Amino acid sequence: MKIIEIDDLRFEPFISYDQIKKRIRLIGIDINLRYEGRRPVFIGVLNGCFMFMADLMKEIHIESEMSFVKLASYSGTAQGNIAELIGVGLDLKDREVIIVEDVVDSGNSLKFTIDALRNEGAKSISVCSLLLKPSCLQHEFDNIEYVGFEIDKEFVIGYGLDYNGYYRNLKDIYKEVTLGD
């Protein structure tokens, strides 16, 4: 078992790339069936979604478009007050949108993203997230339609998820090992 040590933190393997690929394949099948003939727009939320979005789009066989957005905050961190959504680049008026997220945690960023895309005139908005932390949610969502894995409050890295900007490139997902584990 490969343990990764970063600063004073230790991480152990949590979700393998094989597990991720299998789950993405199933999500892709579901989206292909549901959106057949409907031409959805996939909007990936950077930076964390890039690996998930790339693998997901390989499983999408319906006609669709995609773009990426980035959230800008007043303090420069995800925990800061979100100031704007940058980079939509497509006309979303009367379009069906699928937001692609790496992880939905508190839901603050997701709520902001949904509100911003509604203001762009999206006809409908569904959410596809690799990871969901239900116990951390501070908002209610009725449009989180596709979830790769539900996890607890684990601090995770790899497969697009980072620690201070590092370790997004890991193929698997690792979780922090706390004392006593």
Neighbours of 121 (CB within 10 A): 11
Is 181 annotated in the active site? no
Among 105, 115, 142, 152, the active-site one is 105
Region class of 180: left (phi > 0), else alpha (psi between -120 and 50), else beta: left
In angstroms, the CA 145 to CA 118 distance is 17
Cα atoms found within 13 Å of the Cα of residue 73, Cβ hemisphere only: 11
b/e for 44-63, b at 16 or more Cβ within 10 A? bbeebbbbbbebbeebbeee
Active site residue ranges: 105
